[in-house]
Amino acid sequence: MAQIDPAERLLNLIIALTHARTRMTRAQIRESVAGYEPLPAGLSEEEAARRDAAFERMFERDKDDLRRMGIPLQTVVDPTHGDEIGYRIDPSNARMQAIDLTPAELAVVALAAEYWTDATVGQEARQALTKVASGSGPRPQVALPFAARSVASSEAILVLAEAIQHRQAVRFEYASANSGSVGVRTVEPWHLSMGGGAQYLTGLDRDRGQARTFRVSRILGAVRTIGPDGAYEVPDPLPVGGDRGQEPLKTARVALRPESGHALRERGTPAGTDDGWDVVDVEYRYGDALRDEVLALGGAARIVEPAELAAHVRDHARAALEVSRG
Amino acid sequence: MAERATDRVTRMLGIVSYLEANGATPFGELAAQFGVSVDQIRKDVLTLWVSGLPGYMPDDLIDFDPDLFDEDVARLREGHGVSQVRFSAREAVALIGALQSLIASGVAPAAAHSAMEKLRDALGVEGIETSRPAQIPGEVLGPLRQAILERHAVQLDYVDAKDNRTSRTVEPHRIVSIGGVAYLECWCRRAEGYRTLRIDRMGAVEMLDDDVATAPSDAVGFDLQTRFEATVVLAPGARWAIEDLPGVTLEAAGDDVVARFGVADAAFVAGRLLSVAPYVRSVEPQELREALAVQAHAVLAAQA
């Protein structure tokens, strides 16, 4: 059979495996699915081995592509046919659920798909948009007076989300919040928490034998998966802090200059005024995130309590003064 | 970037699903729906047409109406149960993360919230959770949105990064959410230049009668020009705070990291450096050190 486009082969593989009554073995796939080359008779042993290896490589790549597309590939062992593994796709499990988006919702999802400045994450977001668009009515071609761009984004969240789904351990370099030092962490990932600018991973730190929360932006370089799928169970409920595996919720009292710090104001509960400052109580999980938020307001906000957080803000400002003396 | 096989297959499955739900559809509508050219849609339909079940006899293949095809309209006659597939974990986190950042900036259109609700249910990916967003007050956002829509100037109170309060008249063009923070892109009449103003630093906003006379700037968000080159030396553990700055280069120097980058907005970079200040060894040039000192003094004065 003539060489065909990889996309065409992948499409035919999906159709064949979805329609397979029980399963298809590798040999059956190679024989019958358009795009794979069946082994012709009368080849030398060497040539046959070369073609076998080429088929195996191609099939492994296609399996990776199916996984990347989100298609659950079942492996089926049929005891009456020896131990050879067969494959199938369960159509009811693979099919996308209907999403009934209004035209306005579809427009804003299309805008979100362009959010990432990172090429790899952007590609995944656009592929997600393709799926959303295939289950929705016509997409309005309107220009919204609104745009969005990410500042920080990396492939790390993709690898972590996939690893959580497959229960696969990960390894990465991490910059500690407290010491400023870098170390290698091996983690069984449980949970991703997505805030506005920051994302947090919760999981079991294998070397410490304890649950830990990591700020994704402090992961340096690539996240690599290690070991097999299904390597651990995610505890239920998660042991760290609150009910969803995050740090426990705490309350800070923050003073804000009038008409500034709207984000904090809106999240918080008013707690009076103090010498011209508005005081609000703000719930937070991650002290470093609140500290950075207060620092970024450049004097338009201060921490009233806890004292520890106020001290961190001061320490950072003093350190900045020190370094700014040159 | 060349299209990946998975991108194309995902779109081809989507075309079949869309046709199943919507009936005969012009290629032009499919092209708009999936964000590709009409020519690409024609190629996709042709590929689908020769694909199908093993055996690949005429009855095994996906089939389209040939007369309508000649008129650039796709009508599915036989889809063999082909349909769009569920979201992968990677896709789900990329889309939900983006939508979450829009929402977190507090300025996303109302449809973003309802879309998020629907997508969270439909994507059904475990282990990903989103937090409750901030909201910009309606008395700021309402007049801004209306003014952009009706192309009117606005009068607003603004507290800048140095805590100076000013009253400005600006011509609003667009709201942008950058890394979860909301900005207004506008023409500032007082400064006679394009400005990107943080919406959470705005006080009262009032729509004026006079019209917007300027065209929007082409660049999104940081349309400010690079004003000088900076060199910052920091401990490796602090690298995260600056490694995503535009055009940054990093190199190791002993146990430290040397970062070089162009600075457009010194106050913005100073804010970043503040968050890792204990691990910053040196900052060049003087102009950036001054911006850092100004912010640090302001923080210390407040946090006495």
DSSP for B115-145, please give it: HHHHHHHHH--TTEEEPPPP---HHHHHHHH
Domain-embedded: residue B130: no
Residue A148: its chain B contacts at CB < 8 A?
A: 98, 101-102, 105, 176-178
> Per-residue pLDDT tens for B224-279?
556 788 999 988 778 878 877 767 888 888 888 899 988 877 888 888 899 889 88
Q: What percent of chain A has pLDDT over 90?
A: 38
- pLDDT at B220 (0 to 100): 52
Q: Do B119 and A199 touch (CB under 8 A)?
A: no
Candidates B3, B6, B40, partner chain A, best to mutate (most A CBs within 10 A):
B6
Residue B83 belongs to some domain of the structure = no
Asked if residue B74 and residue B93 are part of one domain, the reply reads no
A147 shares its domain with A217 = no
Asked, for residue B108, whether it belongs to a domain, the answer is: yes
List alpha helices for chain B, DSSP H: 5-22, 27-34, 38-49, 66-70, 89-104, 110-123, 138-150, 266-274, 286-302
Note whether B189 contacts A: Cβ–Cβ < 8 A.
Answer: no
How far is the C-alpha of B39 from the C-alpha of A47, rounded, in Å?
40
What number is the average pLDDT over the span B55-61?
A: 92
Query: A285 lies in a domain?
Result: yes
Cα of A79 to nearest chain B Cα, Å: 24
CB-closest option in B9, B22, B203 to A10: B9
What pLDDT is attached to residue A222?
A: 86
* B238/B295 same-domain check: yes
Asked which of A3-17, A23-37, B174-188, B287-301 is least confident by mean pLDDT, the reply is: B174-188
Minimum mean pLDDT among A62-66, B34-38, B239-243: which range? B239-243
Residue type, B260: R
Closest C-alpha among A40, A35, A43 to residue A12:
A35
- Residue A286: inside a domain: yes
3-state helix, strand, coil split of chain A in percent (to 5) is 40, 30, 35
Q: Do A88 and A14 share a structural domain?
A: yes
- Would A1 be classed as within a structural domain? no
Examine the domain organization and report whether B153 and B112 are in the same domain: no
Amino acid A197: pLDDT: 59
Total domain count, chain B: 4
At residue A243, the pLDDT reads 42
Q: What is the mean pLDDT of residues A192-204?
A: 78
Q: What is residue A248's three-state secondary structure?
A: coil
Residue B55 has pLDDT above 80, yes or no: yes
Q: Do A175 and B236 touch (CB under 8 A)?
A: yes
Substitution target in A88, A108, A244 with the highest count of B β-carbons within 10 Å is A108
The pLDDT, as a whole number, for residue A41 is 82
Residue A246's pLDDT is 55
Distance of CA A249 to the CA centre of its chain: 23
Domain boundary residue, one of A107, A125, A152: A152
**Straight-line distance from the first to the last Cα atom of chain B, in angstroms, rounded to the nearest whole number:** 52
Nearest to B200 among A263, A291, A310 (CB): A263
Residue from B149, B84, B86 nearest A70 by CA = B86
> Residue B216 domain-assigned?
no
Chain A residues 48-87 with CB within 8 Å of chain B: 65, 67-72
What CA–CA distance (Å, rounded) separates A50 from A141? Answer: 51
| Whole-number Cα distances in Å, B283 to A77, A325, B239, B257 | 63, 9, 14, 12
How far apart CA B146 and CA B105 sit, in angstroms, is 18
H or E element: which one contains A317?
Answer: helix A307-324
Which SS3 state, helix, strand or coil, does residue B8 take?
Answer: helix
Looking at residue B296, its pLDDT comes to 93
Cα distance between residue B100 and residue B1, in whole Å: 26
Please name the residues between 219 and 258 in chain A that touch chain B, using a CB distance below 8 Å.
Answer: 219-220, 234, 244, 255, 257-258
Say which CATH number the domain at A196 has: 2.30.30
Q: Residue A84: which domain range?
A: 6-94
Which residue does chain B place closest to A304, by CA atoms? B303
What is the ipTM, given to two decimal places? 0.74
pLDDT score for A102? 87
What distance separates the 2 farthest-apart alpha carbons in chain B?
81
Whether pLDDT at B133 is above 70 = no
User: pLDDT band for position A113 (50/70/90)?
Assistant: confident
> pLDDT value at position A39?
82
pLDDT at A1: 44
Would you give the end-to-end CA distance of chain A in angstroms? 71
8 Å CB contact of B32 and A71: no
Judged against a pLDDT cut of 80, whether residue B217 lies above it is answered with no
Residue B106, both tokens: 């507090």
Closest-CA residue of chain B to A263 = B134
**pLDDT of A167 strictly over 50:** yes
Please check whether residue A234 lies inside any domain of the structure: no
Q: What is the pLDDT of residue A244?
A: 45
Rounded to the nearest angstrom, the minimum Cα separation between B9 and chain A is 6
Quick one: what percent of chain B has pLDDT higher than 90? 39
Is residue B143 located within the same domain as residue B199?
yes
Contact A175 B240 (CB under 8 A): yes
**A203 — pLDDT class (breaks 50, 70, 90):** very high
If asked whether residues B244 and B272 sit together in one domain, one would say yes
Examine the domain organization and report whether A123 and A179 are in the same domain.
no
**Chain B environment of A142 (Cβ under 8 Å):** none
* Residue B222 forms part of a structural domain: no
User: What is the structure's pLDDT at A242?
Assistant: 43
Lowest-pLDDT range of A55-64, A65-74, A225-234, B130-139: B130-139
Residues A89, A100: one domain?
A: no
> Looking at the domain assignment, is residue A313 inside a domain?
yes
Helix, strand, or coil here: A60? Answer: helix
> Which residue does chain A place closest to B92, by CA atoms?
A128
Q: For residue A181, is pLDDT > 80? A: no
Residue B56 lies in a domain: yes
A298 or A226: which leads in pLDDT? A226
Read off the pLDDT of residues A206-260 as tens digits, 9 standing for 90 and up: 998 888 888 888 888 789 999 998 999 988 777 755 444 456 788 999 999 877 7
Per-residue confidence (pLDDT) for residue A178, from 0 to 100? 63
DSSP A139-182: PP----SEEEE-SS--THHHHHHHHHHHT-EEEEEEE-TTT--E
Kindly report the backbone phi and psi dihedral angles of residue B79, in degrees, each rounded to the nearest multiple of 5, phi listed first.
Answer: -105, -5
CB A194 within 8 A of CB B119: no
- Residue A75's CB is within 10 A of a number of other CB atoms, namely 9
Average pLDDT of chain A, as a whole number: 85
Beta strands at A269-274 and A210-215: parallel, antiparallel or unpaired: unpaired
Residue with tokens 């798909």: A113
Region for B96 from its dihedrals, namely left if φ exceeds 0, alpha if ψ lies in -120 to 50, beta otherwise: alpha
Per-residue pLDDT averaged across A182-188, rounded? 92
Range(s) of the domain holding residue B18: 5-78
> Helix, strand or coil for residue A78?
coil
Task: Decide if A303 is inside a domain.
Answer: yes
Which amino acid, residue B264? Answer: A
The confidence score (pLDDT) of residue A298 equals: 82
A232 domain-assigned: no
Average pLDDT estimate for B294-301? 91
CB contact under 8 A, A260 and B105: no
Residues 43-102 of B with CB under 8 A from A: 47-48, 50-56, 80-102
Cα gap A145→B149, rounded to integer Å: 8
The per-residue pLDDT for A52 is: 92
Assess whether pLDDT exceeds 60 at residue A318. yes
Question: Residue A97's pLDDT is what?
Answer: 82
Q: Average pLDDT, stretch B211-231?
A: 72
Question: Are A146 and B200 within 8 A, CB to CB?
Answer: no
CATH of the domain at B290: 3.30.70
Using DSSP, state whether A236 is helix, strand or coil: coil
Task: Tell me whether residue A237 is in a domain.
Answer: no
Q: Are strands B165-178 and A146-149 parallel, antiparallel or unpaired?
A: parallel
Structural domains in chain A (count): 4
A182 or A304: which carries more pLDDT confidence?
Answer: A304
Q: What is the CATH number of the domain that holds B19?
A: 1.10.10
pLDDT for A179: 63
- Locate tokens 């290896």: which residue? A53
Q: How far apart are CA A202 and CA A245, in angstroms?
A: 6
Query: Considering the entire predicted model, what is its pTM?
Result: 0.74
Per-residue pLDDT for B153 more than 90?
Answer: yes
d(CA A207, CA A195): 27
Residue B221 has pLDDT above 60, yes or no: no
Half-sphere exposure of A314 (CA within 13 A, CB side): 13
Q: How far apart are CA B267 and CA A296, in angstroms?
A: 9
Mean pLDDT confidence for A129-148:
79
A187 is written with which tokens?
């983690």
Contact criterion met (CB < 8 Å) for A192 and B128? yes
**A180 and A143 in one domain?**
no
Q: Read off the CATH number of the domain in which A63 is found.
A: 1.10.10
CATH code, domain with B175 = 2.30.30
In this prediction, residues A133-141 reach a mean pLDDT of: 82
d(CA B171, CA A277): 31
Question: Where does the pLDDT of residue A29 fall: very low under 50, low under 70, confident under 90, or very high at 90 and above?
Answer: very high
Burial A210-227 (b: 16+ CB within 10 A, else e): ebebbbbbbbbeebebee
Residues B119, B155, single domain; the answer is no
State the Cα torsion B128-A136-B80-B124 to the nearest 10°. 10
